[in-house]
Amino acid sequence: MRAVEQHLVWTLAPDEPAAVQLMDTVWADRAGVHDALATVTDLRRFLDGRPGGPVGRATSADLARARTLRDALRRLAADVTGDDRPGAGTAITEAAAVAAVNSALADAPPPVLRRVEDGWQVGAGARRSVPAVLAELAMEGAALVAGTDRPLRACRAPGCVLYFVKDHPRREWCGVTCGNRVRAARHYARVRRR
């Protein structure tokens, strides 16, 4: 299994919101920073892992839109979290990031009213498509960025470029691996000082 595929399996863990999972398709290891959305196939795997089932055909234009949205959300997340980590940044400006998120939001299908067994339901009206899923991700990402409690965090473990939602007061890293790496480095530093 390619390293990117291994990362996608990890990224699709249900403990992070989908927008954070999209942001975390940029990841790092000892070999450097990687992009888990390198191909249309990578995008399909990512989108098909979302609730609601497969999205249908994805194109290279959809891949470009997804990567632009991801970079925009990462840029806005960096602003909210005060993230200045090397390798975590994007070249997109704040104005371009806001425009990209708003463009994705505009692709959301309008809600429709429909009859259900025990009454009425308001829900998405259009068939599930790549732009519609990207609009959902943009909405969730915008809510995280605009949230007043600011639970979105940048992992400060050395070499990490991921974001996470701080869902516990003691949570400091994106995952167990980063936490263990930081604790091991602290222990090693204490032992060396003796």
Domain residue limits at 39: 3-193
Within 10 angstroms of residue 103's Cβ, the number of other Cβ atoms is 17
Q: Between 22 and 192, name the one with better pLDDT.
A: 22
Percentage of the chain beyond pLDDT 70 is 91
Q: How many domains, in total, are found in the chain?
A: 1
Task: Answer whether residue 10 shows pLDDT above 50.
Answer: no
CATH number at residue 177: 1.10.3300.10
Q: Between 10 and 34, name the one with better pLDDT.
A: 34
Q: Quick one: which of 163, 147, 146, 165 has its CA closest to 155?
A: 163
Task: State how far the Cα of 127 lies from the Cα of 130, in Å rounded to an integer.
Answer: 10
pLDDT score at 126 = 64
